[in-house]
Structure 1
Amino acid sequence: MEKSSAPLIKFPLLTIPSSLETIVHGPALSEGIAHLISVDPRFKVLAEKHTCPLFAEYDRNITPFPDIVRGILAQQVSGAAARSILNRFVNLFSSGSDSSMNTGAILVDDQGTRETSTAEARKNVFPTPEMVLEKDTSTLRSAGLSLRKAEYVSGLANHFVDGTLSAELLSNGTDLEITERLVAVRGIGEWSAHMYLIFTLQRPDIFPVGDLGIQRGMAAWVGHDIAKLKNKGKGKWKYLSEKEMLEISDPWKPWRSLAS
């Protein structure tokens, strides 16, 4: 699973408590890798061949609303199409004045934060939930969003505005609390919630059993012939059942995100 690149965004950041900082980087990351190797030595080869850049450093700057919107826009489209739609979506809220800059926000990208000029920032302002609700569905669709995605994004924004969702909860809540709140939002399923927990919050013990790539990888891991399984499949099918995947991955706790 790879996190797609995206344009710079300007949005208020929420800092994670220092008590959580060692969960997935530094000594803790080494501990996680050591645990996986202890329960299955084959992980040693994987760890040596494949680095884990996502968890190599802990990003304490969390932007829940932009990241979740990004996930919605990326549903069922290619990475290139998702980036194009995201750019056009952000441009809907570009301002020619400096008033939008007086929010105390900073610009961030997938690599962290950096300073930028006011002129550049005006071109990369990610809308707040309140700004999204000011746009009607037809305006959102002009950025390339399908009708459903426009409705999903507006619905998400409404959940932030009415307090059902908050940056605090979506940054510091438990895995279960965050998942339950997110899947209650139309357009966000368990898979999307798990992607948010892994890629945005860098939580160490998330195992997305609904991810086709994870299903395929686990089937190969236990020795199944992937090609035969795929050829036998008709309609909606899975390489392994969720029950099987959870049973196999149980010894990997609490480091299943690393394993996946």
Structure 2
Amino acid sequence: MQIDPNPALPLDHLALDPVMATMIAETTFPKVFTDYADDVYLALLESIVSQQISVKAADAIFARFRQLFPDGYPHADELLNKTTEELRSAGLSFQKIKYLQSVAEFSLTNPMHRAHFDPMTDEEVVQYLLPIKGVGRWTVEMLLIFVLDRPDVFPIDDLVIRQRMILAYPEQTNGLSGKALYQVLHRIAEAWRPHRTTACRYLWRWKPV
């Protein structure tokens, strides 16, 4: 599902940062898509399958995984009834099988529908989902951006975001690493509030010269 936002206000605000203004001028406005039609459960399953493998491999494995179910949807109870051998046949590792089962088990006792998450803050969503094995902060932040359409997410643990910010703000980040780098990146991103999601979409799409 494609969202049709009015980008004027976020872009006007972000352009108050001269570096971001240049990036916006050089980069085509990123189309905004909501994946999985607000299906947090399915999005988490796909995210786990995608961990540490290429997009092409992940797409193939996730497609085979879904084919294991009669209607192509891995309902929690059906997923938990699958044997390890059946799940392995889709190309899943033993560890990822455990993580997928953890998502299914969690969903049987905890609401996972969009209406449950909408009243929550971003941090409340993070803390709600972190108990699931295989789900970390970065995973939930991607869900906040691409499934729940949250406007002010700053996924600092995303490697591409950090690399692009270092390239875009060399004077502020030169020679920094670890905690010191994170502090500076957070300080830079503070100027983008409350539109940090849009800024990150530009950072992902921006092609440094």
Relative to the length of structure 2, the TM-score reads: 0.83
Structure 1 residue 238, shift from structure 2 partner: 5.3
User: Aligned partners of 1:135, 1:60: CA distance in 2, in Å?
Assistant: 23
Structure 1 residue 45, shift from structure 2 partner: 2.8
- Name which of structure 1's ranges 199-208 and 166-175 shifts more when overlaid on structure 2: 166-175
Counterparts in 2 of 1:1-260, with a 5 A limit?
25-27=4-6, 29-38=7-16, 40-55=17-32, 61-93=37-69, 95=70, 122=71, 125-163=72-110, 165-167=111-113, 168-223=115-170, 241-260=181-200
Question: Which runs of no fewer than 5 residues in structure 2 stay unpaired?
Answer: 201-209
User: Aligned partners of 1:246, 1:61: CA distance in 2, in Å?
Assistant: 30
Number of residue pairs the alignment of both structures matches: 197
Structure 1 residue 129, shift from structure 2 partner: 1.6
Structure 1 residue 60, shift from structure 2 partner: 10
- AA of the residue aligned to 2:20: F
Note if contact 1:137-1:151 (Cα within 8 Å) is conserved in structure 2.
Answer: no
Structure 1 residue 42, shift from structure 2 partner: 2.8
Moved over 6 A (4+): 57-60
Structure 1 residue 87, shift from structure 2 partner: 0.9
**Cα gap change, 1:205 to 1:225, in 2 (>3 Å):** closer
Q: State the percentage of identical aligned residues.
A: 29
- Cα deviation code 1:4-58 (max 9, x no counterpart): xxxxxxxxxxxxxxxxxxxx8533x3211110112x1232332233234343x67
Judging by fraction of residues, say which structure has more strand: 1
Larger radius of gyration: 1
Judging by fraction of residues, say which structure has more helix: 2
Question: Which runs of no fewer than 5 residues in structure 1 stay unpaired?
Answer: 1-23, 96-121
**Cα gap change, 1:158 to 1:58, in 2 (>3 Å):** closer
Structure possessing the higher relative contact order (Cα contacts under 8 Å, 6 or more residues apart) = 2
Note if contact 1:215-1:240 (Cα within 8 Å) is conserved in structure 2.
Answer: no
Note if contact 2:126-2:141 (Cα within 8 Å) is conserved in structure 1.
Answer: yes
SS at match of 1:61: helix
Match of 2:203 in 1: none
User: Aligned partners of 1:91, 1:36: CA distance in 2, in Å?
Assistant: 43
